[in-house]
Structure 1
Amino acid sequence: MTGTTRRATKQREAVESYLSDGATFVSAQQIYAGMREQGSTIGLATVYRALQGLVEDEGVDALRTDDGEVVYRRCRSGSHHHHLVCRECGRTVEVEGPAVEQWADAVAGQHGFRDISHTLELFGTCDHH
């Protein structure tokens, strides 16, 4: 366990377990409601804290939808990646973008920034629509 890894809590493990059942991105409100339906007594603030820790430890992907809502899904790959998201059905594909990484590093360097991070989501309509 590294120094930056947070201590696992029962609530955090429960949120992570709930997310492992779904293939699509869901909001914190949906996670909260789903867990309550399953009999959990978890609070909404606890769900948000658990999600933040899971995102920081890269166990959960978070993305901002086209309309600005943040949604979450269990991370499927262990490496840095981006998402293609269908506006119609929500289908999401994880993609790597080495050109994006090179561009981000170059732009940051030109402006004297280092130790940068970024997120990138691409929205469109998949072939199923």
Structure 2
Amino acid sequence: MAIERIARQTKQKESIREALKHCEEFISAQDLHRKLEDDGLHIGLATVYRQLNALADAGSADTIRLGGQQMFRLCGDDEHHHHLVCTNCGRTVEIEPPSEAWVRKTAAKYGFTVSSHTVEVFGLCPDCQRALG
């Protein structure tokens, strides 16, 4: 039974990773779960959450909070990166971060040391600006 459970978890994990690979924007666990169900894969929502958080903990997926929800996106590469995120449609663009020197200088100004940092810039993409305009 343990081997069957491991095989099932591996198949589910791969299914979740594959579905996430086809999402260009950040997606919530609930929306990804719905997409998997629509594709005929019966998997528990708790399993989707667990696997998405495991991917994020391993550095294989990015995670942000948007509209009160935790959102996920498969990382395109292993390099440290940051995002512009549209708060209306979820469109995401990877951006160049501020320099490490700026990050450390700003932290030092307030007596902090830097152990890690994340920069996410939220606003409206050009299409949403026009549509809401």
Q: SS in structure 2 opposite 1:41?
A: coil
Structure 1 residue 90: Cα displacement: 2.0
Q: Which residue of 2 aligns with 1:53?
A: 54
Aligned-partner Cα distance in 2 for 1:122–1:69? 16
More helix by share: 2
How many aligned positions are there? 119
Q: CA, structure 1 residues 120+112, in 2 after alignment: closer, same or farther (shift >3 Å)?
A: closer
Which amino acid counterpart does residue 20 of structure 2 have in structure 1? L
Indicate the percent of aligned positions where both proteins have the same amino acid: 42
Look up the equivalent residue of 2:88 and give its one-letter code. E
Do the aligned partners of residues 19 and 110 (structure 1) sit closer, same or farther apart at CA in structure 2, a change above 3 Å counting? same
Equivalent position of 1:71 in the other structure: 71
Q: Distance in 2 between matches of 1:105 and 1:11?
A: 41
Q: Conserved in 1, the CA contact under 8 Å of 2:97 and 2:119?
A: no
Length-normalised TM-score, structure 1: 0.78
Instruction: Give the C-alpha shift of residue 108 in structure 1.
Output: 6.0
User: Unmatched 5+ residue regions in structure 2?
Assistant: 1-8
For structure 1, the residue ranges without an aligned partner over 5 or more in a row are 1-7
RMSD, aligned α-carbons? 2.2
Matched, 1:91 2:91: yes
Q: Distance in 2 between matches of 1:112 and 1:92?
A: 30
Structure-2-length-normalised TM-score:
0.76
Larger Rg: 2
Alpha-carbon deviation of 1:12? 1.6
